[in-house]
Amino acid sequence: MRGAEQAPSPARLAGLIHAFRGRRLLVLADLVADEFVYGRVQRVSREAPVLILEHDGAEVRLGGGANAVHNIRTLGGTPLPLGILGGDAHGRRLRALLREKGVATARVLTGAGYRTPVKGLYLCGAAAHPGGGVMGIAGWHAAREILRTRRRQWLPI
């Protein structure tokens, strides 16, 4: 029986992060749009036991493998994503977000008739905020996720 694993030291972690600088990494990725919908719960529906969310806003972020690509870029590496997006609004937004982050998208294909996968996250609180928190009486708190949806299309192999 092995003993408990020790967490890596801060110096070791800093070294690993530094090792990303200047590295080119090919990333075979599932490029997913994370769509965050923010709002406030107004009441429970009279027709069914479900919450009625007052919509405050929405935003799309890099999700799935696209998030991993962004993390590599943030750590100073040069990610080379290889994946597929749909020609739909979510696919165009993800491609634009990758470019805004300084990521080359030459290896990101657009599939005819393919729909970009979307993970929908519905967040609520006293005043849901696109920055990821909600404003409560005592200050900023994490938003509470009340629903998650998934829209995807399988590609034939």
Q: What is the pLDDT of residue 142?
A: 65
**For 106-132, what is each residue's pLDDT tens digit?**
999 999 889 999 999 998 875 545 554
How far apart are the C-alpha atoms of 58 and 86, rounded to whole Å?
20
In the chain, helix, strand, coil percent, each to 5?
20, 45, 35
* Residue of 58, 59, 63 lying closest to 32 (CA atoms): 63
Q: What is the pLDDT of residue 89?
A: 96
How far apart are the C-alpha atoms of 101 and 56, rounded to whole Å?
26
How far apart are the C-alpha atoms of 62 and 101, rounded to whole Å?
10
* Residue of 146, 155, 151 lying closest to 64 (CA atoms): 151
How far apart are the C-alpha atoms of 90 and 79, rounded to whole Å?
21
How far apart are the C-alpha atoms of 1 and 106, rounded to whole Å?
49
- State the DSSP code for 88: S
Edge to edge, the sheet with strand 78-86 lists 24-28, 78-86, 108-111
Q: What is the pLDDT of residue 120?
A: 95
How far apart are the C-alpha atoms of 103 and 82, rounded to whole Å?
11
Mean pLDDT along residues 41-69? 92
Instruction: Name the range with the highest mean pLDDT among 6-10, 82-86, 145-149.
Output: 82-86
Instruction: Name the range with the highest mean pLDDT among 1-10, 57-66, 132-141.
Output: 57-66
Domain annotation for the chain: domains and CATH numbers: 25-126 (3.40.1190.30)
pTM: 0.79
